[in-house]
Chain A
């Protein structure tokens, strides 16, 4: 197909060219900077190694974050200062109340369920002789995009009128059990919880893999000593296993809180945020790019950031402590 390849070969060319240029520039800089000697070597190395990353972070995250903060105090077209109007709207508007409520539900439920289930699986895996296939199956959804996941789950949640063939798995099961299936994704507030299931399905594998590695790292002699002392079952878990993996558990939990807050794709791809399922991150996108109100969108982004700050502070305190130990 000449037209197909003439459309697409140049793209691949662009890709290879970009990679080649990137690596060539770096090699050249390394070569030149490596020739510097004596006193100048260290500062040059610092600039070369750290400079590119810092510039990108400055323009990509730090600058934009500050700009978003400013935008959040301006009106929809970012022309006039409006003070805290956007924030006031955010916390008083009736439609926003549902969004905030959903966001709170998500934060309270999904991280703890995902991490808890991950821990349970990690403990169970530790008891198994052979684990690899089951572990891979549970981890697999992690590699599936949320768009893919929402199509996958469509076949579970699909609804059809009772007189039509039931092609959705849950509807069909409900049918066989003899009750009328509701229109799953349109029923509030059930639909929000059904979307949470998709998140848990997708992320539990990650929690499991990390926690499973942490449990394997609990030194065998400690476990043996305490089981010789007569500890077993729940007591062993409570007294030894959990304290040994507690910090990993919290790291995973924090990661899940952040992932939940940023959550956008599941809602966007499955309901588009309609039917009372929207969350802050999704609403922020709609406000900015669909309703073109940059001010309100920015205010939501800032609220998201404020919600993450406790996690951030906790992580930094943890990190500092660990670095001083190490």
Chain B
């Protein structure tokens, strides 16, 4: 399962060490051509967001490079706190909503998953393997399957006949009503990835701590948490991107409550109503894209390390 940790950093191949499937120069050129192709669509959005409204509708974005004509007006429009094309306060409230939704929806599942992963890896009990496989299996339950029943649980509780198992929680349309589903849906993948990482921590370390009489809680806090930082960071990226970029969960559980809509949802809605306001749509879209990009590039060095302990063989 965990080649990186088991083999203790195998001697890495030097680039070009007898691997001449393609020449180095040919490879470089091919990769750069693909990279440029991959970037053009985003570049189009980026440049459009700096163009005046009249220019956007009268000629293609690439003309900006021939006839430079920039404006920051689109950004000042969407960030102004007065009404912009029918949206009071611009897009700032939705940016805030996105953060308010995303940050707890990252912290909650990671914490709970790290705990569960430690338990399944190091506090084995009868049936712990079955539990692990069960959780692994839940990873592929399409969340579509869970949406309606979960929404019913929030609004009506769970009843068998006339016996109320769980009362109505009344959290739909509140932030809590989005944090909880995101936490639930994130757990299987989080537990699986973190379990792979945590189970590959050195056995001697755990046993030594046990012999010293440290409780599981102490071991968890002092040893497991600090050592799992790469895996936790890798999953943080995943979960942040997933929640920030999510449309389905937010569409279902905000129930169109204006006050808590995240930016991504608002944008999806605006794509219709702002159909003629490309200058506003592109600048808003760029804001939506920028935040996860910053998160990704600042945690990037952990990404492969944390993920691979689990999945690369």
Q: How far is the CB of B5 from chain A (nearest CB, A)?
A: 10
Interface size, chain A (Cβ < 8 Å): 134
Q: Is B34 an interface residue (CB 8 A)?
A: yes
Q: Which of A53, A57, A62, A224 contacts B115 (CB 8 A)?
A: A53
Nearest B residue to A255, CB-CB: B311
B288 at the interface (CB under 8 A from A): yes
State whether the Cβ of A210 lies closer than 8 Å to any Cβ in chain B. Answer: yes
**A187 touches B (CB below 8 Å):** no
Known: A22-B107, A143-B293. A137 touches B267 (CB 8 A): no
Give the shortest distance, in Å, between A292 (CB) and chain B (any CB). Answer: 11
DSSP class of B's interface residues: helix, strand, loop or mixed?
A: helix
C-alpha spacing A285/B188, complex, angstroms: 23
The residue from B140, B217, B288, B300 contacting A45, defined by CB atoms under 8 A apart:
B217
A71, B147: Cα distance in complex, Å: 12
Chain B residues positioned under 8 Å from A213 (CB to CB): 304, 308, 312
Say whether B10 contacts A219, CB under 8 Å. yes
Besides A64-B145, A226-B18, 4 new A-B residue pairs in contact (Cβ under 8 A), listed by A number: A45-B216, A143-B296, A218-B13, A221-B11
In the complex, what distance in Å separates the CA atom of A53 from the CA atom of B59?
Answer: 54
Contacts of B15 in A (CB 8 A): 126-129
Pairs A–B under 8 Å by Cβ, sample size 16: A7-B89, A45-B217, A49-B115, A60-B180, A60-B187, A67-B149, A68-B145, A124-B22, A128-B28, A147-B271, A156-B44, A167-B58, A217-B312, A233-B20, A289-B251, A305-B140
User: Chain A's interface: helix, strand, loop or mixed, by majority?
Assistant: helix
Contacts A125-B31, A169-B44 given; indicate if A269 touches B268 (C-beta within 8 A): yes
CA distance A315 to B267 in the complex (A): 36
A66 to chain B, nearest CB (A): 8
Asked if A152 meets B20 with Cβ closer than 8 Å, knowing A22-B108, A57-B184, the reply is no
Residues of A close to B264: CB separation below 8 A:
145, 147-148
Known: A53-B113, A64-B146, A147-B264. Contact between A220 and B11, CB under 8 A?
Answer: yes
Complex CA distance for A122 and B278, rounded to whole angstroms: 36
Of A1, A18, A165, which is in contact with the most chain B CB atoms at under 10 Å from its CB? Answer: A18
Contact among A4, A219, A300, A304 for B89, CB-based, below 8 A: A4
